[in-house]
């Protein structure tokens, strides 16, 4: 199986050495993994940028290898209206195999934090997040898959603990999906929502709609930030993707590879 969303100590929210994560992947019998550390600018001075340099990247990953697991080079690029095109600059010095485009901020607030949720209902917060995501996928190009489309629901300050469901927000989600399909951008199935809101992000409803709209590229990632969650639910998620598409994707040199399931 595959895990194409992993964070080691190069990311601001992990302290785990990547070698430990590789060993975990080997124990689990994973075929291929991709480290996708955060490269997040922030929308205003109240937040701190979470970025890295080539030198820092090489210091962390320069000696990482495995005899049984393919290790890919990637990045999770945080989409903002102020950093359109910056991912192309990153490509020049990182030469990634894979780029996830993700939305972590909405209306100037970090969605993970409490202020984003204050003063409105959960449904209104979900709508605000999705509208931000729609705006940003319309602005940006040059990333391979949209990460955790319904990310907002898994954050710890979601007061309800409820998932963000397609039937309730179908109009906005449809526009997001149409946009990425038109741009040739894929969709990630992020398994980290399973333990937090009881579903993958996104779930089967959204995958089916993505396919109906012409979408073809789907990856699976655990979003692990330590060696304990490497490959978590990867087999189950690949089975879900396989039931809809018949395959799951990985990437090499920014090109999708289709693995029959």
pTM for this one? Answer: 0.97
Read off the CATH number of the domain in which 128 is found.
Answer: 3.20.20.140
209, 166 Cβ separation under 8 angstroms: yes
Contacts by 253-260 with C-beta closer than 8 Å and gap 24+? 253/97, 254/96, 254/97, 254/98, 254/99, 254/144, 256/144, 256/186, 256/217, 259/2
For residue 45, the model assigns a pLDDT of 84
Q: Which residues of the chain have pLDDT under 50?
A: none
pLDDT tens digit string along 128-142?
A: 999 999 999 999 999
Which domain, by its residues, includes 227?
2-260
If you write DSSP's letter for every residue of 130-156 in order, what string do you get? HHHHHHHHHH--S-SEE--TTGGGGST
Q: Provide the number of structural domains found in the chain.
A: 1
If you write DSSP's letter for every residue of 206-226 in order, what string do you get? HHHHHHHTT---EEEE--BSS
If you write DSSP's letter for every residue of the chain in order, what string do you get? -EEEEE--TTSTT----HHHHHHHHHHHT-SEEEEEEEEB--SSTTS--B---HHHHHHHHTT---SSSEEEEEEEEEP-TT-TTHHHHHHHHH--SEEEEE--EETTEETTSGGGGTTS-HHHHHHHHHHHHHHHHHH--S-SEE--TTGGGGSTT-SS-----GGGSHHHHHHHHHHHHHTT-EEEEEGGGHHHHSS-BS-HHHHHHHHHTT---EEEE--BSSTTSTTTTHHHHHHHHHHHHSEEEEEETTEEEEEE-
pLDDT tens digit string along 144-199?
A: 999 999 999 999 999 999 999 999 999 999 999 999 999 999 999 999 999 999 99
């Amino acid at each position: 199986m595959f895990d194409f969303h992993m964070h080691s100590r190069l990311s601001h929210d992990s302290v785990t050495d990547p070698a430990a994560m590789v060993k975990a992947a080997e124990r689990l019998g994973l075929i291929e993994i991709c480290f996708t550390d955060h490269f997040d600018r922030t929308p205003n001075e109240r937040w701190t940028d979470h970025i890295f340099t080539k030198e820092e990247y090489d210091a962390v990953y320069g000696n990482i290898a495995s005899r049984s697991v393919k290790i890919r080079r990637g990045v999770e690029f945080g989409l903002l209206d102020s950093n359109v095109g910056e991912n192309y600059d990153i490509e020049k010095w990182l030469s990634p195999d894979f780029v996830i485009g993700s939305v972590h901020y909405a209306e100037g607030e970090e969605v993970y934090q409490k202020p984003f949720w204050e003063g409105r209902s959960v449904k209104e917060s979900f709508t605000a997040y999705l509208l931000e995501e729609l705006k940003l996928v319309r602005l940006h190009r040059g990333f391979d898959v949209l990460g955790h489309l319904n990310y907002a629901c898994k954050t710890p300050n979601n007061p309800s603990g409820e998932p963000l469901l397609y039937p309730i927000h179908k109009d906005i989600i449809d526009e997001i999906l149409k946009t990425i399909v038109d741009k040739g951008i894929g969709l990630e199935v992020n398994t980290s929502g399973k333990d937090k809101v009881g579903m993958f992000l996104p779930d089967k409803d959204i995958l089916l709609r993505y396919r109906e709209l012409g979408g073809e590229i789907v990856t699976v990632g655990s979003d692990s930030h330590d060696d304990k969650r490497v490959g978590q639910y990867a087999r189950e998620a690949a089975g879900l993707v396989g039931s809809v598409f018949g395959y799951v994707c990985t990437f090499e040199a920014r090109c999708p590879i289709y693995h029959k399931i």
